[in-house]
Structure 1
């Protein structure tokens, strides 16, 4: 397995630890190779929804999620999206630690 794919897998696993069980299971299912026919359209819809985040039911949160999903199929996106996910989870952990100290 190449380095980008390994890093993306680790990033997804770290994110899944933060998700509720049902969402983590959905994430694992979407990343499975047999789910490619669902993963690519879902990723494109999330990216499109993130671009139009000015609408009330859409949000900017959709853009990185869509990019993470599509990175499973586009090699040059794997490392940057893995790094983004790891930094995001690190920020979440630091925020939680800060809140616990207050």
Structure 2
């Protein structure tokens, strides 16, 4: 099961890297390397805290899933729940965008 969760997590990262600017994708690729663990864990915690306090200026809710993804690289117990939440959230987001688009076009 661990291999399946890890592969799914890597697919989530690959998908994210395709959607973000090249400079951010290169940084994320470096953070995914095993030797970046000492930087990755504190950064993940800071991102999660920033996501929790997204009502403050500059911080945003986008920080929470990114922090969870980074933390899941090191905490195997989080891989399953994070994968499930990201996949489910992505589906709901797509459904919401599709419904909004259809509403605008009058379908």
TM interval, shorter chain, is 0.7 to 0.9
Tell me: CA distance 1:17–1:86, structure 2 relative to 1, closer, same or farther (3 Å): farther
Tell me: CA distance 1:31–1:68, structure 2 relative to 1, closer, same or farther (3 Å): same
**CA-CA distance at 1:86 after TM superposition:** 3.6
- Give unpaired runs (5+ residues) of structure 1: none
Under a length normalisation based on structure 2, what TM-score does the superposition of the two structures give? Answer: 0.78
- 1:8 matched to 2:9? The reply is yes
- 1:25 matched to 2:26? The reply is yes
**CA-CA distance at 1:84 after TM superposition:** 3.2
Quick one: distance in 2 between partners of 1:23 and 1:86? 22
**CA-CA distance at 1:37 after TM superposition:** 0.7
Q: Which structure is higher in RCO with an 8 Å CA cutoff and minimum separation 6?
A: 1
- Aligned positions of 1:1-102 closer than 5 A: 2-89=3-90, 95=97
**CA-CA distance at 1:79 after TM superposition:** 2.1
- Give unpaired runs (5+ residues) of structure 2: none
Under a length normalisation based on structure 1, what TM-score does the superposition of the two structures give? Answer: 0.81
Tell me: CA distance 1:61–1:6, structure 2 relative to 1, closer, same or farther (3 Å): same
Quick one: distance in 1 between partners of 2:45 and 2:77? 17
Q: Is the contact made by 1:15 and 1:89 (CA closer than 8 Å) also made in structure 2?
A: no
The number of residues matched between the two structures is 102
